[in-house]
Amino acid sequence: MIKLPQTTQALLKNPLALSGFIIVLLLFACAVFAPVLAPYDYKEVNVRAILAPPNIHHIFGTDELGRDVLSRMMYGSRISLAVGFVAVGIATLIGILLGAVSGYYGRWIDSCLMRLVDIMLCIPSFFLILAVIAFIGQSIWNIMAIIGFTSWMGVSRLVRAEFLSLKEREFVLAARASGAGDMRIIFSQILPNAMAPVFVSAILGIAAAVLIESSLSFLGLGVQPPLPSWGNILTSGKDNMETAWWLSVFPGCAILLTVLGYNLLGEGLQDVLNPRLKNK
């Protein structure tokens, strides 16, 4: 009999984490296998089925050009999840580096970096993203980079707090006494012990990044047609609200399920990985 690790067993016993994990796994499988699962090509136009309601041939109906909505949503999930993972990866990397330096060295370095965080937090992120897009242009890579470079502040504060509590522990003092340098202490001793809350924050950040990308695409500033995105499918729904309800309902439900899945998974992981919560 295969014995699962203790953390995995705890996750399977946590209903929040398990339900979130199932939703995320289904979305991930849908994105990865979209070319196989999608009944039609996302660019395929059928002029005989323009704005067709859900039926046996088009389960989620068609859009104003006769394209299959289900197929476009499956391919759109690849865009949304790619933006989420890449943007959160950039934000997490920046947040870890700045938070580690700030928490480990303290003093004036900590003060300067935390004032930078405070300044960034004072600027509304969505409007900052809109302003940057206006200057550098619209592309999927620009959107990933912009979301990542404007979302690292929360991670940096988490990492800083963990470093402040861990840098005076016995194992760190022992490593310093043995002659270990700062970089080795930061990345080999302290950082591995500070990653649990960062991991939870990253999972929750994916949901936020998906929402931002969908909002930008809905406004016409994100992914551009014919490339499908849940946001630009919603734009078609807005233009045909009275005659094609399915263009708004199904993409909206996909965004809702994605955000709900990542939030449930993040909350469940927090319960599992936080020993204070486990002891309550």
Predicted local distance difference test score (pLDDT) of residue 97: 92
Predicted local distance difference test score (pLDDT) of residue 2: 39
Output the pTM of the full model: 0.84
Average pLDDT over the chain, rounded to whole? 84
Share of the chain above pLDDT 90, in %: 16
Cα distance between residue 140 and residue 151, in whole Å: 17
Q: Which amino acid is at 52?
A: A
Q: 140-176 as b/e, with b when 16 or more CB fall inside 10 Å? A: bebbbbbbbbbbbbbbbbbbbebbeebbeeeebeebe
Residue 243 has pLDDT above 90, yes or no: no
Predicted local distance difference test score (pLDDT) of residue 11: 66
pLDDT tens figures, 17-39: 888 889 999 988 998 898 888 88
Residue 275 has pLDDT above 80, yes or no: no
Task: Please give the average per-residue pLDDT across 46-69, as a whole number.
Answer: 88
Place of tokens 């994990």: 21
pLDDT tens figures, 69-94: 999 999 988 888 888 889 999 999 99
Predicted local distance difference test score (pLDDT) of residue 74: 92
Predicted local distance difference test score (pLDDT) of residue 73: 92
**Higher confidence at residue 117 or residue 241?**
117
Q: How confident is the model at residue 253 (pLDDT cuts 50, 70, 90)?
A: very high
Residue 1 has pLDDT above 70, yes or no: no
Task: Please give the average per-residue pLDDT across 7-13, as a whole number.
Answer: 66
**Higher confidence at residue 223 or residue 8?**
223
Task: Please give the average per-residue pLDDT across 109-120, as a whole number.
Answer: 89
DSSP letter for each residue of 206-249: HHHHHHHHHHHHHTTSSSPTTS--HHHHHHHHHHTTTT-THHHH
Map out the domains of the chain as residue ranges: 17-278
**Higher confidence at residue 35 or residue 139?**
35
Cα distance between residue 246 and residue 68, in whole Å: 11
Q: Hey, what long-range contacts does 135-139 have (CB within 8 A, 24 or more apart)?
A: 138/221, 138/222, 138/224
Fold (topology level) of 17-278 = MetI-like fold (1.10.3720)
Residue 180 has pLDDT above 90, yes or no: no
Record the tokens describing residue 158, joined without a space: 């988490």
Predicted local distance difference test score (pLDDT) of residue 6: 58
Instruction: Rounding to the nearest 10 degrees, give the CA dihedral for residues 174, 175, 181, 187.
Output: -130
